[in-house]
Structures are given as structure tokens and as C-alpha cells.
């Protein structure tokens, strides 16, 4: 028997969606928001918006204080680095693009970048295009049948020519944790920089960035129950110092003349223009909300739901899970039934799940699939959501077979 989610009432949109006859099971795409975050946005916008860092007036000072408090909260939340190690971007994608441009100067033709076969396009295309610009070799680390990077092969493929390793922590398609510790240690021993795409992982296991041992870690606020339009790029100090500036304008500049300029170091040097002030303040409120939760209770609730989801799926004839999902989500196809037809019938019945290639076209192609359906969970989901999903799914299967 699944317990109700004790946190459901903290997320007003879940009830609102319910009133619209929608069962939201797409949190891996974006998550609903806690009231605490909505209150923080209303306080900021209702109390007086102001730009950060440059204004000498009181509203500007208050906005800057609240904005910078989120940087400190991030440092505390992720294992105690320095606040100055966290750069705000507009999302995980823009953080990864920042890295691909900011690190470009360190590569020479013939150098290698290693990525895994399961990467989201956001952690593949910036490196692929960098490789094309600089004549680098993009090495693809294969995955095993469970959906994890094949360690034995990966350790062979990451060698002295590898200048950078970029891998996800938790697959957005397969729901599998990746073997980061040995991969990162090996990359470092080979002298390569490492980038971890934590877009999914950060939501389901609070990262200890110090212990993880990567050079860079990126994620998006909107998947972590925070506002959209905000991304976070964490870097180890020496790795941050290696980054070249990539976008130019206000805020990031130290001194500017008509013909030359000098630039600030991280983080402000990489936050050109007005940053997403409200979004960053809202992320701070979300982190405070998450800090107040019993994280082991959250993990236990999510694990029980995930188990029920996977068991329910495989109990149905012809359903094939992609890989061996461990947490948060499950993607599947049904033998003899077109994914788009199932998706259509689920949508008609008010079930909000995702169907398609999940921004991982090469992975789906490698699995021999044109698409798959992904059901993903947030801490506010409960057994009733799953029951509604399975009722609708059974109805769809009965119609289609
Ligand atoms: N990496 C992974 C693993 C993701 O799931 C996503 C979002 N689907 C991203 C990167 C990109 O995040 P965003 O769209 O917020 O930039």
C-alpha cells in the first residue's frame, strides 16, 4: 500500500492540475513549484524589483543581498564549497554551452572528448560542435544492457589523449545512476577535465560536490522545484580559472574602453547582462523549502512509488522497460503497439507523461527505437497518480490491441 505524499499540499499546482483532470507524471521535464517559492517571487516582485550588483540604492542592495544569499545557500546545499564557485546561467543547457566555449582554447586538433552514449542532447551537442570546430575526436563511451556506462570499456577509452570527460549523473531516459566515482577518478588521473550533467541527479540525491570530485557540475533550477530560466554551474577553483570569458556586456566587465576591456573572474565574469534575479531568489526559497524536508523520507517515498511503477509496467504483457531504471522515472515501449498511439490515448485521458526521443536521439537509435514513453515522478506524486496512470494505460492497451 503506497502512502500519500506528505508534501503534496505544499505544491498548489498539483491540486490545480487535478482540478483540470490532469495527472502530472512528467517531473523529469519540469517540476511543479512549492508555495514557498511562489511566495518568494510575489515578495520580490510585489515588494520592488531592482537590478543586482550595480545599483547603490536600497531596493538594489536588498535584491543583491537576496540574490547572493542563493549562491551561499547553494554552496551549503552541495557540500560546502565557496559561494563564488557557483555561476548562475539560464539553464543546464546554457551552462554546458558556456563550458564548451569557455574551455575551447585549451584543446588542440587530435585531442579527445569522451561522452557517454546516453547523454541528453544538452551534454552531447555542445561537445560535438566543439569537436567539429577544433578538429577533436569525440569518443562515445558505450553503455551496458542495464543502461549504465560500461566501466571496463570506458576506462580503456579514456586515455592520455582525453582532455575532457562529460557524463550525466542520472540518465533522463533510463533512470540509471552512472558510475561516476571510478570514471571521474580515472579521468583526473589521465589529466582530463570532467563535467557532470546533474540535471536529473540533483533532484533525487542531494550531491556532495566536494566528494564527487568533478571539475564542473551543472543543473537547472526548474527540475529541482525552482523557477525556470535559471541554471547553475559549479566549478572547482582551478577549473574555473581555466575558463575563458564567452559572453560580453554589462556586469561581467571590470574596466572597459572603446578598444579594449578587462573582465571579472568567476562567478560575475560569466554572468553577462542582467541575470534572472527573481528566478535566483526563487531558487533560494526552494532550497530553503527542501532543506526543511526529511530527505530520507523523501527518498523512501520516491523509491516506493518507483518500485510500484516499474512492477506495474513489467506486469503488463508486451511492455519493455528501457534499461533497468533505479529511481525517479521509467521509459518503456509496448511490443506491437505504436508509442505515439499510446501517448495520444494517455493524453486524451488526462495523463501527462512524455513520449518521444527525450532529447537523446542517438541513444534511442542505438536501442533501435523511434521513441518511448517516459513516466517520471516528483516528491508530490502518490499511489493515486499511479493508479490513474495504470487505469488509463490499460484502457489504451485494450483499445489498441
Ligand atoms: N541534461 C539532462 C540529463 C536533462 O534531463 C535535461 C533536461 N531535459 C538537460 C540536460 C537540459 O536542461 P535544460 O533544458 O533545463 O537546460
pLDDT for 324-338, tens place per residue? Answer: 999 999 999 999 999
Q: In sequence order, what E strands does 106-245 have?
A: 112-116, 137-141, 162-168, 193-197, 216-220, 231-235
Residue 393 CA to residue 401 CA, distance in Å, equals 12
The pLDDT, as a whole number, for residue 81 is 86
Best residue among 27, 92, 374 to mutate for probing ligand 1, ranked by most atoms within 8 Å of CB: 92
Ligand 1 touching residue 78 (CB < 6 A): no
Q: Is the pLDDT score of 39 beyond 90?
A: yes
* Percent of the chain predicted with pLDDT > 70: 100
pLDDT-based confidence at 80, cuts 50/70/90? confident
The pLDDT, as a whole number, for residue 194 is 98
Residue 219 CA to residue 183 CA, distance in Å, equals 19
Average pLDDT value for residue range 54-61: 91
**8-17, 187-196, 203-212, 290-299: which range is least confident on average?**
203-212
Average pLDDT value for residue range 177-186: 98
Residue 40 CA to residue 6 CA, distance in Å, equals 22
Best residue among 122, 171, 224 to mutate for probing ligand 1, ranked by most atoms within 8 Å of CB: 122
The pLDDT, as a whole number, for residue 54 is 82
Nine-digit cell string for 127:
561537445
pLDDT-based confidence at 107, cuts 50/70/90? very high
Residues 6+ apart with CB under 8 A from 383: 1, 2, 3, 4, 305, 308
Buried b (16+ CB within 10 A) or exposed e, 370-387: ebbbbbbbbbbbbeebbe
User: Looking at ligand 1, which residue's alpha carbon is closest to its atom 4?
Assistant: 199
Residue 329 CA to residue 177 CA, distance in Å, equals 12
**Virtual CA dihedral for 240, 243, 246, 250, nearest 10 degrees?**
40
Strand order, beta sheet including 329-334: 319-321, 329-334, 372-376, 354-356
Q: Is the pLDDT score of 242 beyond 80?
A: yes
The pLDDT, as a whole number, for residue 1 is 80
Rounded to the nearest whole angstrom, what is the distance from the C-alpha of residue 225 to the centroid of ligand 1?
A: 14
> How does the average pLDDT of the chain come out, rounded?
97
SS3 state at 113: strand
State yes or no: is 214 an active-site residue. no
Average pLDDT value for residue range 23-47: 98
Ligand 1 touching residue 286 (CB < 6 A): no
The pLDDT, as a whole number, for residue 261 is 98
Nearest to 245 by CA among 219, 271, 217, 216: 271
Residue 363 CA to residue 131 CA, distance in Å, equals 19
Average pLDDT value for residue range 312-320: 98
- Tell me, what DSSP letter sits at residue 70? H
The pLDDT, as a whole number, for residue 102 is 98
Ligand 1 touching residue 339 (CB < 6 A): no
Rounded to the nearest whole angstrom, what is the distance from the C-alpha of residue 94 to the centroid of ligand 1?
A: 10
Amino acid at each position: 500500500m503506497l502512502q500519500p505524499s506528505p508534501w503534496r499540499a505544499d505544491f498548489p499546482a498539483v491540486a490545480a492540475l487535478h482540478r483540470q483532470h490532469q495527472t502530472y507524471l512528467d517531473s523529469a521535464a519540469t517540476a511543479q513549484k512549492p508555495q514557498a517559492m511562489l511566495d518568494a517571487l510575489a515578495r520580490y516582485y510585489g515588494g520592488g524589483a531592482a537590478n543586482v550588483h550595480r545599483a547603490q540604492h536600497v531596493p538594489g542592495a536588498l535584491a543583491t543581498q537576496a540574490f547572493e544569499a542563493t549562491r551561499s545557500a547553494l554552496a551549503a546545499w552541495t557540500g560546502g564549497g565557496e559561494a563564488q564557485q557557483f555561476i548562475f546561467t539560464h539553464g543546464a543547457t546554457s551552462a554546458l554551452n558556456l563550458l564548451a566555449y569557455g574551455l575551447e582554447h585549451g584543446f588542440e586538433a587530435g585531442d579527445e572528448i569522451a561522452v557517454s552514449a546516453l547523454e541528453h542532447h544538452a551534454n552531447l551537442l555542445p561537445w560535438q560542435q566543439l569537436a567539429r570546430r577544433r578538429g577533436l575526436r569525440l569518443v562515445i563511451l558505450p553503455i551496458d544492457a542495464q543502461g549504465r556506462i560500461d566501466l571496463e570499456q570506458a576506462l580503456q577509452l579514456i586515455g592520455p589523449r582525453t582532455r575532457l570527460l562529460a557524463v550525466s549523473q542520472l540518465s533522463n531516459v533510463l533512470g540509471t545512476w552512472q558510475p561516476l566515482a571510478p570514471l571521474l577518478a580515472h579521468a583526473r588521473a589521465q589529466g582530463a577535465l570532467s563535467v557532470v550533467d546533474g540535471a536529473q541527479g540533483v533532484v533525487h540525491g542531494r550531491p556532495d560536490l566536494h566528494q564527487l570530485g568533478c571539475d564542473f557540475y551543472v543543473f537547472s533550477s526548474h527540475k529541482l522545484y525552482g523557477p525556470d530560466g535559471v541554471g547553475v554551474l559549479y566549478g572547482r577553483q582551478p577549473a574555473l580559472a581555466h575558463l575563458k570569458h564567452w559572453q560580453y556586456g554589462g556586469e561581467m566587465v571590470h574596466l572597459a574602453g572603446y578598444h579594449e576591456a578587462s573582465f571579472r573572474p568567476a562567478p560575475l565574469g560569466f554572468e553577462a547582462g542582467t541575470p534572472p534575479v527573481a528566478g535566483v531568489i526563487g531558487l533560494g526559497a526552494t532550497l530553503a523549502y527542501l532543506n526543511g524536508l526529511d530527505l530520507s523520507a523523501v527518498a523512501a517515498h520516491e523509491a516506493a512509488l518507483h518500485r510500484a511503477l516499474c512492477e506495474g509496467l513489467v506486469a503488463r504483457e508486451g511492455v519493455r522497460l528501457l534499461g533497468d531504471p533505479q529511481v525517479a522515472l521509467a521509459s518503456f515501449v509496448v511490443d506491437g503497439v505504436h508509442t505515439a498511439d499510446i501517448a495520444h490515448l494517455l493524453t486524451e485521458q488526462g495523463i501527462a507523461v512524455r513520449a518521444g526521443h527525450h532529447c537523446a536521439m542517438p541513444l534511442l537509435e542505438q536501442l533501435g527505437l523511434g521513441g518511448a514513453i517516459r513516466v517520471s515522478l516528483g516528491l508530490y506524486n502518490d499511489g493515486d497518480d499511479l493508479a490513474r496512470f495504470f487505469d488509463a494505460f490499460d484502457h489504451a492497451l485494450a483499445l489498441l490491441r
